[in-house]
């Protein structure tokens, strides 16, 4: 039986920079499953395989998809509840405004306009929090404002806003505490280290296959047929993942080129329309011909000056919405004026 060519049994290496983190974790898991299924006997291969097994935690970390931030979602819902409570408070104050003199509610309206106005336009949660906190600080330090709230029975609405604001701050603090505990890891660094260990395992399997072809098989060694089968399986796995990454990259390039071509076509169309619609048209004019303009001094009656036709001008204005029709109309006008001048010159010469 002919031996396999050692150069033909090599495992294709994957560039870690071209793989997604989910692909890297899936690829590493499949490599581990294939090696465990073949159960190599070589001590050298098993040592390298043990180094790869130590990276099980990194494989699971790459597979992790963070998804929606639950605490941020809670923060968003609580902010909406707080804004709703503030709107109810402002609405009740506005209803009182029609029954009580404006001067009696001046202090309360001034505090609302200063801190609680247009809160829905605050895109920054920190600015929103500072405005609501400033309103409660003013209640604590302004006796007239506190008396107005007690006088018009607004304590329940103010307490609801206070409780909602307090809950909002507690959710923000909890989210900050959880984010501080999140491990700071780089997916690119983890993928690089993981694929390096896979590469070392492949090198060990390739070296074991070369050695098995030149030495006799014993109890502690794998046969060349078993190692060749393992090499072919791992190589086929690498080829599949490489083709998948290559196809994804080509599709992304094709989509980018299509978007670029669409942008260029749109720009070219806009430029063409702009040139047609903004092109200036010089009205046809005829220079008056005097008798002394001729070298022989002959007395020739100069042709009449061709006036601009108001009808054609109005037609040109009506056709401005269609640049092509406008261009055709102007060309016809110019040709008609030239023919008329030529006819006049012939009549005067005869």
pLDDT, tens only, 217-275 = 666 677 888 888 999 999 999 999 889 888 888 888 888 888 887 777 777 776 666 66
**Closest alpha carbon to 78 in 66, 89, 86:** 86
**Percentage above 70 pLDDT, the chain:** 69
pLDDT at 129: 92
Mean pLDDT in the chain? 77
**Closest alpha carbon to 193 in 48, 57, 10, 55:** 55
Residue 133 banded pLDDT, cuts 50, 70, 90: very high
Segment 280-285 long-range contacts (CB within 8 Å, at least 24 positions apart): 281/316, 281/330, 283/308, 284/308, 284/333, 284/334, 284/337, 284/338
Q: Which residues contact 128 (CB under 8 A, 6 or more apart)?
A: 79, 119, 122
More confident residue, 350 or 129: 129
pLDDT at 252: 87
DSSP secondary structure code for residue 221 in this structure: S
**Percentage above 90 pLDDT, the chain:** 23
**Across 5-14, 209-218, 287-296, least confident range:** 287-296
More confident residue, 220 or 143: 143
Residue 57 banded pLDDT, cuts 50, 70, 90: confident
What is the distance, to the nearest Å, from the Cα of residue 294 to the centroid of all Cα atoms in its chain? 73
Residue 278 banded pLDDT, cuts 50, 70, 90: low
> If residue 93 lies in a helix (H) or strand (E), which one and from where to where?
helix 70-97
pLDDT of 12 strictly over 50:
yes
More confident residue, 88 or 257: 88
pLDDT at 87: 93
Are 333 and 284 spatial neighbours (Cβ–Cβ below 8 Å)?
A: yes
pLDDT at 173: 92
Cα separation of 41 and 50, whole Å?
A: 13
What residue has token string 């929103």? 128
Catalogue the E-assigned strands of 74-148.
none
Q: Is 214 helix (H, G, I), strand (E, B) or coil?
A: helix
pLDDT at 316: 45
For residue 183, the tally of other CB atoms under 10 A from its CB is 5
Q: What is the mean pLDDT of residues 31-37?
A: 92
Which pTM does this prediction carry?
0.49
Are 60 and 25 spatial neighbours (Cβ–Cβ below 8 Å)?
A: yes
pLDDT tens for each residue of 90-100: 998 888 866 66
pLDDT at 168: 94
Q: Which residues contact 278 (CB under 8 A, 6 or more apart)?
A: none
**Closest alpha carbon to 34 in 245, 194, 198:** 198
pLDDT of 331 strictly over 90:
no
- Is 111 exposed, middle or buried (CB count within 10 Å of its CB: 0-12, 13-18, 19+)? buried
Are 202 and 234 spatial neighbours (Cβ–Cβ below 8 Å)?
A: yes
Residue 7 banded pLDDT, cuts 50, 70, 90: low
pLDDT at 227: 87
> If residue 300 lies in a helix (H) or strand (E), which one and from where to where?
none
pLDDT at 338: 54
Residue 166 banded pLDDT, cuts 50, 70, 90: very high
Residue 1 banded pLDDT, cuts 50, 70, 90: very low
pLDDT at 101: 61
pLDDT at 300: 46
């Amino acid at each position: 039986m002919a031996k396999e060519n050692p150069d033909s049994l090599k495992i294709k290496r994957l560039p870690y920079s071209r793989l997604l983190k989910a692909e890297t974790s899936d690829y590493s898991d499949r490599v581990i499953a294939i090696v465990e299924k073949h159960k190599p006997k070589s001590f050298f291969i098993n040592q390298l395989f043990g180094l790869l097994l130590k990276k099980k935690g990194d494989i699971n970390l790459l597979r992790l998809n963070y998804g929606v931030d639950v605490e941020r979602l809670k923060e968003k819902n609580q902010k909406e509840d707080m804004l709703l409570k503030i709107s109810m408070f402002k609405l009740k104050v506005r209803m009182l405004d029609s029954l009580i003199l404006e001067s009696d509610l001046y202090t309360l309206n001034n505090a609302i306009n200063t801190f609680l106005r247009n809160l829905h336009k605050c895109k920054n949660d920190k600015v929103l929090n500072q405005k609501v906190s400033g309103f409660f600080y003013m209640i604590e330090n302004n006796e007239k404002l506190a008396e107005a709230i007690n006088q018009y029975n607004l304590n329940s609405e103010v307490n609801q806003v206070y409780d909602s604001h307090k809950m909002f701050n507690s959710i923000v603090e909890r989210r900050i505490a959880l984010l501080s505990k999140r491990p700071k890891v780089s997916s690119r660094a983890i993928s690089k280290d993981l694929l390096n260990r896979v590469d070392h395992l492949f090198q060990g399997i390739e070296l074991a296959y070369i050695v098995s072809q030149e030495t006799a098989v014993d109890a502690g060694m794998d046969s060349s047929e078993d190692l060749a089968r393992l090499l072919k399986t791992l190589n086929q796995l690498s080829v599949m993942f490489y083709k998948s990454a290559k196809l994804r990259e080509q599709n992304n390039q094709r989509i980018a080129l299509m978007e670029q071509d669409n942008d260029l076509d749109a720009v070219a169309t806009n430029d063409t329309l702009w040139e047609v619609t903004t092109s200036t048209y010089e009205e046809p004019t005829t220079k008056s011909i005097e008798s002394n303009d001729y070298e022989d001094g002959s007395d020739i009656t100069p042709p009449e000056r061709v006036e601009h036709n108001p009808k054609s001008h109005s037609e040109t204005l009506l056709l401005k919405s269609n640049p092509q029709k406008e261009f055709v109309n102007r060309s016809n006008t110019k040709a008609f004026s030239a023919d008329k001048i030529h006819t006049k010159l012939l009549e005067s010469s005869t």
